[in-house]
Amino acid sequence: MTRVLAPARIPRPDDVDRVVMASRATSIDSVYGQMERIRAAALRQNVPAGVHGVLVYLSGWYLLWVEGPSAGVREALRRVARDPRHYSPRVLHFSQGPRLLPTPWSMMMLPSSDTADAVGQRVDALRTLLLSGRQFSPTSVLRRVAAPFGLPLGAGVTDPESFHRVGICAAESAPAFGLVRWIAGQQGQPTRHRRVAGEEGLDAGMDQVDILVDNLPCRLNALPWQSLVHGLLRVYLPEWQHMLMLFGGSVRGDETLMQRMVKAAAELPEPTSLLASAPDEETHARMAAIAAPAGLPYEPIAVASSQDHAVLWRALAAHIRRLGPPAGSEWAVPEGALLELAA
């Protein structure tokens, strides 16, 4: 598998430091309450320092990804290191470059059935790789620890991140979840659920299933349309080669979904490519007319009801087959002062 290294680039004055750290939670009681308190502290202290953060919890582990100006990131990590709510912190990623987190704070809880030891083994493996000079993008680190691909990747594939990723979104949200559940049932694979929150409240649930399409590993992510502008999902969007949009034929609902997508994709380095299903050609034409000026490639893959799971699945599977083998995910470890964090 190709080692895809983040391209060499000339440092820029607005570059930020990015650090991903894993630690064990001291108590697993009322974790969401703890996360809300951590969020309040982070919003109070990170934001004035220009530091953005993501906090993930699963199976007795916290994953913290912070990025911002060097001084602010160091200060945040010093504060966090003193916190008795966690222990055994380990840095799993360090890099410098453009800001990847568009919003000040996101957090995610995964009701994972993994044991703390199983997660710990994944953390240790990444740590060992980092110390030997190999590391992965922050999103990849989060996925490798929190949600590794659930099926064998196939002969000769050594990169565990080498799978296709597709987002699925529908105007009323429910059809996207219905389709993922249906495909999971057909393939005999479990769905995974996660809860995602931003700067306030708890806003979205997401479902995910891992499948093989003729031996091509693929992860499907159903998300509510409202969450397209969520900071954390926007971070993952560039890695989902495709968004499957399930339009339902309601003029207002479909336009709202499409406009959300345009907004979510507005600042991405590469336009997200849209696959679309709609109940009629007229809806496709209207949606394509919104996608075009925003530079979003629009490919109608089905004229079908968003409940017609078999037709939608056939069209999506055919598309995945055309994509061929997926790419890998490795990044270069920079020389730099903050590397001491890895020691």
Binding site for ligand FMN (CB under 6 A): 23, 38, 41-42, 45-46, 53, 55, 62, 64, 66, 76, 79-80, 83, 85-86
Q: Which amino acid is at 206?
A: M
Nearer to ligand FMN, 53 or 217 (CB): 53
| 152 three-state secondary structure | coil
Beta carbon of residue 44, minimum distance to ligand FMN (angstroms, whole number): 7
CB atoms within 10 A of CB 238: 16
The total number of residues shown for the chain amounts to 343
What distance in Å separates the CA atoms of residue 52 and residue 69, rounded to the nearest whole number?
Answer: 10
Least distance (Å) between residue 67 CB and ligand FMN: 10
Least spacing, CB of residue 53 vs ligand FMN, in Å = 4
Q: Which is nearer to ligand FMN, 66 or 265 (CB)?
A: 66
Question: What is residue 82's DSSP assignment?
Answer: T
Q: How far is the CB of 237 from ligand FMN (least distance, A)?
A: 23
> How far apart are alpha carbons 150 and 153 in whole angstroms?
9
* Position closest to ligand FMN via CB: 83
Closest to ligand FMN by CB, 69 vs 253, is 69
The distance of closest approach from Cβ of residue 30 to ligand FMN in the complex, given in angstroms and rounded to an integer, is 14
The Cα–Cα gap between 299 and 275 comes to 5
3-state secondary structure 185-198: HHHCCCEEEEEEEC
> Which CB sits closer to ligand FMN, 46 or 112?
46
Rounded to a whole number of angstroms, the minimum distance from the CB of residue 109 to ligand FMN is 13
Q: How far is the CB of 21 from ligand FMN (least distance, A)?
A: 8
Residue closer to ligand FMN (CB basis): 9 or 37: 37
Torsion, Cα 283 287 292 296, to 10 degrees, reads -130
Rounded to 5 degrees, what are φ and ψ at 257?
Answer: -60, -45
In 3D, which of 125, 111, 207 has the Cα closest to residue 168? 207
Least distance from ligand FMN to the Cβ atom of residue 336, Å = 21
Taking a C-beta distance cutoff of 8 angstroms, is the pair 332, 129 a contact?
A: no
Q: Which is nearer to ligand FMN, 86 or 165 (CB)?
A: 86
Using CA atoms, how far residue 311 sits from 36, 220, 275, in Å, is 42, 16, 14
Smaller CB distance to ligand FMN: residue 42 or 276? Answer: 42
On the 0-12 / 13-18 / 19+ scale of CB atoms within 10 A, 105 is buried
- Tracing tokens 């994972």 back to the chain, one arrives at 112
- Strand partners for 211: 218
Q: How far is the CB of 77 from ligand FMN (least distance, A)?
A: 8
Cα–Cα distance measured from residue 299 to residue 145, given in angstroms and rounded to the nearest whole number: 33
**Given the complex with ligand FMN, which of 100 and 316 has the nearer CB atom?**
100
- The residue (of 106 and 139) whose beta carbon lies closer to ligand FMN is 106
